[in-house]
């Protein structure tokens, strides 16, 4: 089954996924679905409530009545949790690690995957994350996996944090990136990996515009059914 006009973009942190996904969505008139923001929001709430990030039962309760709204913003997606705008608060390196921790919990993956499928059900969506092409939308029309050398990803992440007025130590960020990728890749459930039918792009030496152009060309070339046999 080809899922209605869904494009998935997965990859490790700092591979350029978010910026590129947002641009590809804008160029196609699609909605951008930032699945990482959802894991960050769950981590944020768990921390705020003082829960253990490995306590599946407590996380299940938290998720049962979660009030989470994603709204497209000018830059990052605006994330509203229980009527509180947490868009900025979740974009720290610490929240990335917290999100990675809660994302290994089956109950969290189950609930967020379900929410993501609901959000994608009308099609016209560019979904970005770690498992959008492998687990959330396995029948997506076009799939991409973006990667880049760890040192380059750390450099980009530092720039991004500094642009937001946050302090960033490149060495520390590199260590965090390596740890987070290892945790995300090693987990048994929906690990970070390229779908067998994804186009893998190493963005290390490419500009954002180059990657967007390459992806749009690929989408135009493979067309309606993503080059898959129907
Ligand atoms: O893309 P991001 O940095 O905002 O993601 C934060 C964490 O959330 C990431 O380290 C792992 C988790 N995540 C996930 O497990 N599956 C996704 N589809 C998206 C994010």
pLDDT for 224: 60
Q: What is the mean pLDDT of residues 171-200?
A: 93
Q: What is the mean pLDDT of residues 74-80?
A: 84
pLDDT for 24: 96
Q: Report pTM.
A: 0.93
> Which of 26-30, 33-37, 100-104, 167-171 has the least mean pLDDT?
167-171
Pocket of ligand 1 (CB under 6 A): 13, 35-36, 39-40, 96, 99-100, 103, 129-132, 180, 184
pLDDT for 1: 42
CB–CB of 102/36 below 8 Å?
Answer: no
Q: What is the mean pLDDT of residues 9-22?
A: 93
Instruction: For residue 229, report the distance from its CA to the centre of ligand 1, in Å.
Output: 31
Q: Which stretches of the chain are DSSP H helices? A: 17-28, 35-48, 56-64, 93-103, 106-120, 150-163, 170-186, 208-222
Among 17, 37, 39, name the best residue to mutate to test ligand 1's pocket (greatest count of ligand atoms within 8 A of Cβ). 39
Q: Whose CA is nearest to atom 5 of ligand 1?
A: 36
Task: Give the burial class of 161: count Cβ atoms within 10 A of its Cβ; 0-12 exposed, 13-18 middle, 19 or more buried.
Answer: middle
- The ligand 1 atom at the shortest distance from the C-alpha of residue 96 is 6
Q: What is the mean pLDDT of residues 210-221?
A: 96
Q: What is the mean pLDDT of residues 54-83?
A: 91
User: Which residues fall within 8 angstroms of residue 11, CB to CB, at 6 or more apart?
Assistant: 17, 130, 144, 145, 146, 147, 192
Mean pLDDT over all residues of the chain? 92
CB–CB of 190/107 below 8 Å?
Answer: no
Among 130, 133, 136, 179, name the best residue to mutate to test ligand 1's pocket (greatest count of ligand atoms within 8 A of Cβ). 130
Instruction: For residue 34, report the distance from its CA to the centre of ligand 1, in Å.
Output: 9
pLDDT at position 187 over 70? yes
């Amino acid at each position: 089954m080809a899922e209605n006009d869904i494009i998935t973009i997965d990859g490790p942190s700092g591979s350029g996924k978010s910026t590129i996904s947002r641009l590809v969505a804008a160029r196609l008139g699609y909605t951008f679905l930032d699945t990482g923001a959802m894991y960050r929001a769950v981590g944020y709430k768990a921390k705020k409530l003082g829960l253990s990030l490995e306590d599946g039962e407590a996380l299940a309760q938290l998720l049962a009545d979660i009030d989470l709204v994603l709204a497209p913003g000018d830059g990052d997606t605006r994330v509203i949790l229980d009527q509180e705008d947490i868009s900025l608060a979740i974009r720290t390196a610490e929240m990335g690690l917290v999100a990675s921790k809660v994302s290994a919990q089956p109950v969290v993956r189950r609930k967020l995957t379900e929410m993501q499928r609901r959000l994608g059900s009308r099609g016209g969506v560019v979904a970005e994350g770690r498992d959008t092409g492998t687990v959330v939308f396995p029948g997506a029309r076009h799939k991409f996996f973006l990667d880049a050398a760890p040192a380059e990803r750390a450099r980009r992440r530092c720039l991004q944090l500094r642009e937001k007025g946050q302090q960033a130590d490149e060495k520390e960020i590199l260590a965090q990136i390596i740890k987070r990728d290892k945790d995300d890749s090693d987990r048994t459930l929906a690990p970070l990996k390229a779908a067998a039918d994804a186009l893998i792009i190493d963005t290390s030496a490419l500009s954002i515009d180059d990657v967007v152009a390459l992806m749009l060309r690929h989408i135009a070339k493979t067309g309606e059914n993503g080059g898959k046999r129907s």
